[in-house]
Amino acid sequence: MHTPVLLKEAIAILNPLEGEFFIDGTFGEGGHSKEILKRITPGGTLLGIDWDREILEHNSDLPDKWPNDTIILKHGNYADTPAILAKHNLPKADGMIVDLGFSFWHIDESKRGFSFMKDELLDMRYDPDGNDRTAYETVNTLRENELADIIYHYGDERNSRRIAKRIVEERRKKKIETAHELSEIVNSAFHFKDPRISPATRTFQAIRIYVNSELENIRKLLAELTGILKPGGRLGVITFHSIEDKIVKENFKLLHQENTIAFLNKKVIKPEREEIARNPKSRSAKLRAICLKN
């Protein structure tokens, strides 16, 4: 079952109100959206955006459960929200939430090699129709130093050089085709293994981020807030690792110095112990929220 992270905290700080227009920029399985809908109806509208067309089709019956035009689902990337609003003649929003974690659906059902626990073909694209860069191409064609840099910068992996070397050694013998094969290669690069975390975790994270240009998309979104939110509009961003959280934190700080935004929370919001106990994958989540100034 999909469990939205920091749901109570996000709703409290973004405070969706009856009649407002809200955007869920990473709709996924609709966990945050469903709670927002309860508060903006009647009279409100929610725009759900997701880069994965298949996951939207999986939830295509959701609008039928609400009054006409209460919920609008559109395929696209949250970084392109201003263009999506313009294309569909939608106004700037009263609020927006962006949850940068990937869903259990991608791990359990997408069959695109997101999980090192499954023997699936290496893909890792959220948008297979609109993105030509795959995990297969990444691990089989990039130079060793390029792979090492990706694994280090996007995965915060100290053993990146050794992992990249092992990948290149193995692909000379045969192409690396599946997530299981890649996981075994990464594991073989470690002399000592931490029992609390799989050695492949950071490498898979790094390749997924690279394949989907995730960090570039975050920067693009934060650079275009005035084209998304109306004055007084609120934005909440939920991050799951230090790399993306640092981007959000630094961009919010810069916007605050420019007097463009006000902070809705002085300290980063983290899950309570009860939530972590229910959903261990929430333990690294952080919520930062701002309000666009008039």
Q: Quick one: CATH architecture of 132-211?
A: Orthogonal Bundle (1.10)
Say what the pLDDT of residue 48 is: 95
CATH number, domain 7-105+214-292, options 3.40.50.300, 1.10.10.10, 3.40.50.720, 3.40.50.150? 3.40.50.150
CA distance 35 to 209: 28
What pLDDT is recorded for position 196? 64
Whole-Å CA distances, 218 to 143, 273, 285? 26, 28, 16
Among candidates 123, 2, 116, which has minimal Cα distance to 52?
123
Domain ranges of the chain: 7-105+214-292, 132-211
Which of the two residues, 104 and 180, has the higher pLDDT score?
Answer: 180
Radius of gyration of the chain (CA): 20
* pTM of the predicted model as reported, rounded to 2 decimal places: 0.92
Q: How confident is the model at residue 2 (pLDDT cuts 50, 70, 90)?
A: low
Mapped to the 3 state alphabet, what secondary structure does the chain carry? CCCCCCHHHHHHHHCCCCCCEEEECCCCCCHHHHHHHHHHCCCCEEEEEECCHHHHHHCCCHHHHCCCCCEEEEECCHHHHHHHHHHCCCCCEEEEEEECCCCHHHHHCCCCCCCCCCCCECCCCCCCCCCCCCHHHHHHHCCHHHHHHHHHHHHCCCCHHHHHHHHHHHHHHCCCCEHHHHHHHHHHCCCCCCCCCCCCHHHHHHHHHHHCCHHHHHHHHHHCHHHCEEEEEEEEEEECCHHHHHHHHHHHHHHHHCCCEEECCCCCECCCHHHHHHCHHHCCCEEEEEEECC
Average pLDDT over residues 183-205: 84
Mean pLDDT (whole number) for 245-273: 95
